[in-house]
Amino acid sequence: MASHVKIEPMVHPQGSSVSFGANASSVNLEGLSDADIEILAEAFYKHHVLVLKDQGRLSPQAQYEFTQRLNSAATISSRHKDQDNAKSFLLSPDLNTVPHLPQVQIIGNGFVREHEGARNLKLRYPHHRSSHSTVIEDRNALKYTRFYRWHIDGDLYGAPPPVATTILAVKLPKRRMQTIRYDDGTGDELVAPLGTIAFASGEAMYDLLSEEDKAFAGSTKVEYAAHPYLWMASSKSHPTGLGLVSEGLELDDDELPPIDLASIQILPMCWRNPVTGRLALQVHSSVARRLHLVNGEIIDDLERVRDILYQFQRPGIAPQSVYTHDWQEGDFVIFHNRGLLHSVVRTLAEDEVRIMRQCIISGTEIPLGPDGIV
Ligand SMILES: [Fe+2]
């Protein structure tokens, strides 16, 4: 059966250098045909962010099944619905989930009496105050904000990183604008809608590198810390939300739970898009521990590892390179976790209630490296 799904690339404002994002329409997520999936999967790898409007009635089950299909290696190579191997994971045991489908998380802000059978939720949206090395002064706390933490979704320990993350906006507070401050001495700022999620392209990040740095990035692997989020839990983020400042606050191995050496991930610094073939500089710099160079050298000095990654990644989060999604209730956003970095942005006031449903599922394969192999 032919698909009626329509894909239209986003038109970004003048001055923007963002070249990703598309709107998808005529999509019935509760009854997708194989032809629909094929079109959506191809658009997903090409445009990295797909926005579907008016999906407020989407069931958690349909969100989960669709996310599973995009995370299955089978999706782009065949039409088989074989996702039985797709393992699910939760980012934190503290997360609220849909009671009858715990693979779907409920995130947001404020008190929620009931959503999908979950009751009396006290949602808290992450705030940079708890995680940045410097913070915005109280008197400006609702007007200005920061990128909370640029990241790739995933454990980065054990399971392969997710391919696609999906988020549904169920309920949003009244729209207003905030100014994201970079506070890194550049004066960079970006005006964005309240509670946006910001996206930056790993492909653009790679393209902005010098030829010398491209050669380095294309041949280097990144070793992620064991139990990465425990390891860095006390560390503070750079004011741009990109990586951590080095103050020696990471845990030593003997302070962590037992380490399974086979779960430690050493991934290429650049990941190849399986559909377009383009390379993306994809590093979750906050949990990177070492760099493995092609000549066998290992850069173990954490401060140096972070400095290299910061120099490589910072140009890619310049204001003109960032897409900030202007959420409307019912928006269903699908984003490519292997081609983008993203960050939440807030400051929401205590009484600004926001409900989103998020589904993050680990991939079935580890990402392709520059040679198409890992
Ligand atoms: Fe995320």
**What is the Cβ-side half-sphere exposure of residue 72, based on CA atoms within 13 angstroms?**
20
Q: What separation in Å is there between the alpha carbon of 360 and the centre of ligand 1? A: 8
pLDDT in tens, 104-113: 999 999 999 9
**Strands 354-360 and 164-171, how do they pair?**
antiparallel
Question: Residue 256 Cα, ligand 1 centroid: separation in angstroms?
Answer: 23
Distance 257 CA to ligand 1 centre (A): 24
Dist. CA 104 → ligand 1 center (Å): 13
- Domains, the chain, in order of start with CATH, read 6-201+325-360 (3.60.130), 203-315 (no CATH)
Compute, in angstroms, the gap from residue 167 CA to the centroid of ligand 1.
10
pLDDT value at residue 225: 98
CA of 1 to the centre of ligand 1 (A): 35
Percent of the chain past pLDDT 70, that is, above it, reads 93
Residue by residue, DSSP assigns 230-245 as: HHTTT--B-TTSSSB-
Over the stretch 129-161, which tens digit does the pLDDT of each residue have?
A: 888 999 998 888 888 999 999 999 999 999 999
Start-end of H helices in the chain? 34-47, 60-71, 74-77, 202-207, 211-219, 228-231, 302-313
pLDDT tens digit sequence for 165-191: 999 999 999 998 999 999 999 999 999
User: Looking only at Cα atoms, what is the longest distance across the chain?
Assistant: 58
Strand, helix or coil for residue 287: helix
AA letter at 263? S
Report how far apart, in Å, the C-alpha atoms of 309 and of each of 76, 108, 270 are.
Answer: 31, 30, 12
Instruction: State the distance from the centre of ligand 1 to the C-alpha of 194, rounded, in angstroms.
Output: 17
Q: Is the pLDDT of residue 82 over 80?
A: no
How far away, in angstroms, is 208 Cα from ligand 1 center? 24
CA distance 115 to 98: 8
Both tokens assigned to 105: 């998380």
Q: pLDDT tens digit string along 7-34?
A: 999 999 999 999 999 999 999 999 999 9
Distance 165 CA to ligand 1 centre (A): 8
Name the CA radius of gyration of the chain, rounded: 20
Alpha helices in 314-355 (DSSP H): none
Query: One-letter amino acid identity for 75?
Result: T
**C-alpha 333 – ligand 1 centre gap (Å):** 12
Cα of 357 from ligand 1 centre, angstroms: 12
Taking the centre of ligand 1 as the mean of its atom positions, its distance from the CA of residue 19, in whole angstroms, is: 21
Dist. CA 312–CA 308, nearest whole Å: 6
CA of 292 to the centre of ligand 1 (A): 26
CA 152 to ligand 1 center in whole angstroms = 6
CA distances from 287 to 1, 51, 267, 345 (A): 45, 29, 12, 20
Query: Residue 265 C-alpha to ligand 1 middle, in angstroms?
Result: 19
pLDDT at 78: 33
Instruction: Answer whether 51's CB lies under 8 Å from 27's CB.
Output: no
Q: How far is the CA of 311 from the centre of ligand 1 (A)?
A: 22
